[in-house]
Amino acid sequence: MYETILVTLDGTPSDRAIIDHVKQLAKLAHSRLVLLHVADGWAARTYGPDAVSPEIAEDTAYLEKVQAEFQSVGIAAQAELAYGEPAQQIIKWVEKKGCDLVAMSTHGHRFLADVFLGATATRVRHSIEVPVLLLKAK
């Protein structure tokens, strides 16, 4: 059913909700995971894959740590780092590479905060044809 699940991570404690949920789902569905984080700092937005900064090093280490967590329980997982505006890069990834499900944590903003801050999850779910699993972070 969900052969490939794209798990978007923002590197904050809110990721824990989606990581724990997807761990169970991936075992049940025998899914392969792609862990995607979008680096969106100045260097990442300016230089893309050529960016070198403490942010990029931290993001890479974080992805490797989460990847190892999944692999340690027998779940196939690969980590990818994208560069730029998060919603745009997630949408671009889905359109180019494809997946069966996108899994994301949300920060639980209310309507006005989403309007002013621009909710990544909202933009993604309205822009792709793939099912999106949204979990509100605790």
pLDDT digits (tens, 9 = 90+) for 92-124: 999 999 999 999 988 755 554 454 444 788 899
Average pLDDT, the chain: 91
The CATH code of the domain at 4-136 is 3.40.50.620
**pLDDT at site 34:** 98
More confident residue, 138 or 78: 78
pLDDT above 50 for 1 = yes
∠91-15-123 over CA atoms, to 5°?
A: 25
- pLDDT tens digits for range 33-51: 999 999 999 999 999 999 9
What would the mean pLDDT of 59-67 be, rounded to a whole number?
A: 97
Rounded CA-CA distance 11/13 in Å is: 7
pLDDT value at residue 116: 42
Q: Would you say 96 and 80 are in contact if contact means Cβ atoms under 8 Å apart?
A: no
What backbone phi and psi angles, to 5 degrees, belong to 20? -65, -40
Q: How far is CA 86 from the centre of its chain?
A: 9
| pTM for this entry | 0.90
* Domain boundaries along the sequence of the chain: 4-136
Predicted confidence (pLDDT) at residue 5 exceeds the cutoff of 50 = yes
Packed helices 54-72 and 15-29: angle between N→C axes, nearest 10 degrees? 40
